[in-house]
Amino acid sequence: MDIKLIGKSPKIREVLRLISRVAPLGVQVLISGETGTGKGLAARIIHQLSPRKDKPFVTVQCGAIPDTLIESALFGHEKGAFTGASTRSKGFFEEAHKGTLLLDEIGDSSMAFQTALLHVLQEEEFCKIGSTRPTKVDVRIVAATNKDLRKGVSLGTFRQDLFFRLNVVEIKMPPLRDRDDDCMLIAEHFLHFFNQKYKKKLTGLSKEVKKIFMQYHWPGNMRELIHVVERAVIVEQSSLITPASLPPQLLEINQEIDNQNEDSMQFHLPLFDKPLKNAKREFEKKYLEGLLRRVNGNVSMAANLSGLRRQNLYLKIQQYEIDLDQFRKKK
């Protein structure tokens, strides 16, 4: 599979521009964003665009290492360093020498992990377990997190000095719901990919599926969309992906939206007791509120469904003093 970020939305184009600027420089990068937004993919692109591209790219799952194994995992050990150490072992830093080390979900790391990491970042060397001789290391660090590290610093769960070390440049990965029409581009790309993988010949997505995809909130972001497309390619029997091949949660959301649409289009008698100008304003405001509720406050999706330009829709939202936050799902 090609290592690339798919999309044409302004937010993803800005991410790609920032990646292209920082990748060749070798600075530490912090990639933040919700689960499934492509943080690991962005880290791999940074590595590929850097002078280290022909050297190792090593990933560390920060929250998965017990405190008792941190030094061995990061720095390795010498033969005979402890019971069971029958051979010399490299740690993550030695494996990534001259290359890139991705610290995945650094926000889940323990204080012991953070302390050990800070030391090697400051000194650019470490000692293996069972050795007193320092080992020099040349590694570029890219850290990824779905947590707010600034909040972690204020709560005392993340070291401030380590945060400043890691956060030389921050790249914020946007959630899929804020990426305009990128959903369709990603879906079509992986439809082609999974067609080849499973030797299928699906030609596209049905109109109903496209509508569902544009209306769905995608809490799992790009990762969830990819899994949905893969499932659909596997189970679909026709030439197009149809709603029947989608997982239950998408069909349930679609039914809720249809029910909301039916309710929102009911006219109430008091509307006819008002002057036409006032009735039109009231109806337009209710229409916009129903539309924004339908797409969870996503202005880009609302503009697409209403046929309005995004800028014009924003003006109407301001005109009717509509609070977008009331329609956005809280994390």
108-139, pLDDT tens digit by residue? Answer: 999 999 999 999 999 999 988 888 889 999 99
Q: Tell me the DSSP string of 214-236.
A: HHS--TTHHHHHHHHHHHHHHH-
Q: Look at residue 3 and tell me whether its pLDDT is greater than 90.
A: no
CB 193, CB 1: distance < 8 Å: yes
What band does 330 get if pLDDT is binned at 50, 70 and 90?
A: low
The whole-number average pLDDT for the span 274-283 is: 68
Q: Look at residue 262 and tell me whether its pLDDT is greater than 80.
A: no
Q: Rounded mean pLDDT of the chain?
A: 87
What is the per-residue pLDDT for 269? 46
| Buried/exposed code over 272-305 (b: 16+ C-beta within 10 A; e: otherwise) | eeeeeeeeeeeeebeebbebbebbbbbbbbbbbe
What band does 163 get if pLDDT is binned at 50, 70 and 90?
A: very high
144 or 79, greater pLDDT = 144
Q: Look at residue 231 and tell me whether its pLDDT is greater than 90.
A: yes
**Type of residue found at 161:** D
305 or 203, greater pLDDT = 203
What is the per-residue pLDDT for 265? 46
What is the per-residue pLDDT for 263? 46
